[in-house]
Amino acid sequence: MSELDSPTAKGGSRQGLPKYIAHFVVRTSRFAESVSWYKAFFDADVVYSRDGLTFLTWDDEHHRIAIIGQPDLADFAKNVAGVDHVAFSMPDLNDLVAAYKRLKSAGMTPTYSINHGPTTSLYYTDPDGVMVELQVDNIAFPGGARAFFDSKEFTENPIGVFFDPDELAARVEAGEDHLQLLTRPAGPVPAIA
């Protein structure tokens, strides 16, 4: 069903839909390392931990991440079907840069930094090789993300353009206009493994 065929587009309402994503679960053979990584990544609090099960949260939700320790799991592989990454939206560009600096000071650097057009995103890799994205919505494209998806720019490059997060952080701290910083520059389609 296309968006134009949806009940909402026809003046109706949607019912029985989730309010939000409550949490995600990581199953790992690297339990202690994963708990430490996710705790540091989200500056999270441990709300429960016993017998190979840990719940973490960073807000008023009872848990945002559950980590299950299970010995002898096969390593994560990119050539197997499954979830590719999980993305988290930051309130604004200042918060994205603050997260970048906090994580960098803890020795965690992005695997990829990409301005997709609709978002500016930092992708990190957890101890098992799963990607976790921190993003901020870009406001630079007239009509928003859905209009951007119909643009020639998106057709020619649906992935985005790599950027240097240190340079972005310096420009934000120098007071440059966020609208300018969030506008996707021209550039080649990045090769992402």
User: Would you mind telling me the total number of residues written for the chain in this entry?
Assistant: 193
pLDDT digits (tens, 9 = 90+) for 80-102: 888 889 999 999 999 999 999 99
Residues 6+ apart with CB under 8 A from 94: 172
CA separation, residue 157 to residues 127, 151, 192 (Å): 30, 10, 13
Report yes or no on whether pTM surpasses 0.85: yes
Give the strand pairing for 24-28 and 65-69: parallel
Per-residue pLDDT averaged across 129-143, rounded?
Answer: 86
CATH code, 20-72: 2.60.40.4320
State which CATH number among 3.30.720.110, 3.30.465.10, 1.10.600.10, 3.40.50.620 fits the domain covering 85-187: 3.30.720.110
pLDDT digits (tens, 9 = 90+) for 5-56: 555 555 667 889 899 899 999 999 999 999 999 999 999 999 999 999 999 9
